[in-house]
């Protein structure tokens, strides 16, 4: 399970945060940004607390400095090919109640920048 205290030691969250800031600056330039809305699914492998922690560091000195981070965390949804049921799951070890691991993940892996509020 991902989790635990946020730290820069989880460097993939740092790299993810850098990708977020770079992508936004590339799209909208250096103008001041009031808020950023992200979608980080619960099965994405990315810890949102770490993103928040890294964001303060990475955004410093850019137009995103001090911006509010709104993070939607969609639940995981999967379809079990064995019992043909659709169900929600937030555990990265994906197992249907029937015991099968033969699942199609329908949602929960999102890693998206939805929008920014530009001042």
Partner 1 sequence: MCSTCGCGGEDGSTRVTLVDGHTHDHTHDHDHAHDHPHDHGTRTVLLEQDILAKNDLLAAATRHRLTEHAITAINLMSSPGSGKTTLLERTITDLDGRRETLVIEGDQETWLDAQRIRSTGSKVVQINTGAGCHLDAQMLDRGLAELAPPDGSLVFVENVGNLVCPALFDLGEAARVVIISVTEGADKPAKYPYMFRTADLVLLNKIDLLPYVDFDVDLCLELIHRVKPDVELLPVSATRGDGLDAWHDWLANRSSAAAPRSEYPRRG
Give residues in contact with Zn ion (CB under 5 A). Answer: 11-12, 80, 82-83, 96, 98, 100
User: Token digits for 16?
Assistant: 């993810």
* Cβ contact 89:78 at 8 Å: yes
Q: How far is the CB of 83 from Zn ion (least distance, A)?
A: 3
Residue 91: phi and psi, rounded to 5, are: -90, 125
Within 13 Å and on the Cβ side, how many CA atoms surround 70? Answer: 9
| 23 interface partner picked from partner 1, Zn ion, none, CB below 5 to 8 A per type | partner 1
| 82 interface partner picked from Zn ion, partner 1, none, CB below 5 to 8 A per type | Zn ion
Residue 80 within binding range of partner 1, rule CB under 8 A: no
Helix axes 11-28, 48-59, angle to 10 degrees: 50
For partner 1, the binding residues (CB under 8 A) are: 10-12, 15-16, 19-20, 22-24, 27-28, 34-35, 38, 45-46, 92-95, 101-102, 111-119
């Amino acid at each position: 399970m991902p989790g635990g205290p946020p730290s820069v030691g989880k460097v993939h969250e740092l790299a993810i945060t850098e990708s977020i800031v770079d992508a936004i600056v590339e799209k909208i330039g250096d103008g001041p940004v009031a808020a950023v809305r992200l979608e980080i699914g619960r099965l994405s492998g990315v810890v949102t607390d770490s993103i928040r922690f890294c964001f303060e560091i990475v955004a410093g000195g850019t137009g995103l400095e001090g911006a509010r981070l709104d993070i939607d965390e969609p639940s995981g949804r999967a379809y079990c090919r064995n019992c043909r049921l659709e169900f929600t799951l937030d555990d990265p070890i994906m197992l249907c109640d029937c015991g099968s691991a033969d699942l199609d993940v329908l949602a929960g892996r999102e890693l998206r920048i939805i929008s920014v509020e530009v001042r």
